[in-house]
Amino acid sequence: MNNIKGYIYAAASSSTFGLAPFFTISLLASGFSSFEVLAYRWGIASLTLGIFGVLLRETFRISRKDWGTVFILSLLRAATSLSLVIAYQHIASGVASTIHFMYPLAVALAMIFFFREKKSFSILFAVLISLAGAALLSSGEIDFKGGNTTTGLIAATLSVFFYGGYIVGVRKSRAIHIPSTALTCYVMGLGALFFIIGGSLTGGIQLATGGQTWLNILGLALPATAISNITLVKAIKYIGPTLTSIFGALEPLTAVAIGCLVFKESFTPGTGLGILLILTAVTVVIMHEKKTS
C-alpha cells in the first residue's frame, strides 16, 4: 500500500512540475517580465511552504553558519529558474524542459571530477547518448514565436549546471544537516527577494490584477512549485529517491504535451528520438547511482 502511495506522490510531483512552462509562458504573454513571474512564483510558494511547515510543527531554526550556505544555494536555485524562463522565451518549452532534465548527468560528472567518485562506463555512455539526444533536439524547428534559438539553448543548458550545482551543494555542504522544509522555504524566500530586486532595477514589479492573471500565478506557485516539492518529499519517503527520480521523466513529457497541444509547438520524429535518448541517459545514471549506493 505504501508503494502505491509513493508512486502516486511521485507521479503527482513530476507532472505538476511539468505544468510550470504553461503558467510561465501565459504570464510572459500577458506582459509580465521574467523577474516579475519568478518573484510571484517563489514568494507565494515560500509562504505556502512556510505555512505547511508550521502546521506540521517543522523546525525553521538554523545556525548562523548555515546562512552562508543557504544564501549560495538560493543563488544557484534562482539562477536555475531565471535561465529556464529565458529558455521558454526563445525555444519550445518541451525542448527546454527536456534539456533541463539532463541535470542528473551534471551531478554525476561533478561527483566524478570534483569529489573523486569512481569513473564508470555507464556514466560515459549516458553522457554520449544524452549529447546525441540534445543534438537531435537542437537540429529541429525548436524556436518559440521567433525567439533566438541559440540564446534559448544556452539558457536551457545553463539551467542544467545551475541546478546540478544546487543538488551537489545540498549533498556536500552544511545544508545536509538543515531540515528539508526549512531549507526549501528559505531558498525560495531568498530567491523571491532576488527577483524583486531584479524587477525593481529593470522596470519595477507590477501589481497583478485580474482573475486570469492570478489563476496563472497561483497555478505556477502552488501546483507547479509548492505542491510539487511537498509531494516529492512524500514520494522519497515511501519509495526512495531512485524510483522517485525515474518518475521525474513525467516532467519533460508533461511540458512537451502542453507545448504541442496548447502552444502549437512542433513535434517531429527527431524531437521524439532526442527526448527518448535523454530520458534513457538520465535513467541509466539514476540506476547506476542506485547500484553504487
Give pLDDT tens digits along the chain (293 positions). 667 888 888 888 888 988 999 999 999 999 999 999 999 999 999 999 899 899 988 889 899 889 999 999 999 999 999 999 999 999 888 888 889 988 888 888 888 888 877 777 888 888 888 888 888 877 666 666 667 888 999 999 999 999 989 988 888 888 888 888 888 899 999 999 999 999 999 988 998 888 999 999 999 999 998 888 888 878 877 877 666 777 777 888 888 888 888 888 778 888 889 889 988 988 888 887 777 76
Q: How many CA atoms lie within 13 A of 106 on its CB side?
A: 18
What's the domain count of the chain?
1
Distances, alpha carbon 186 to alpha carbons 33, 41, 49, 61, in Å: 23, 14, 10, 11
Residue ranges making up the domain that contains 20: 1-292
- Note the helical H segments in 18-62: 20-29, 34-55
Which residue's C-alpha cell is 569529489? 115
pTM confidence score = 0.87
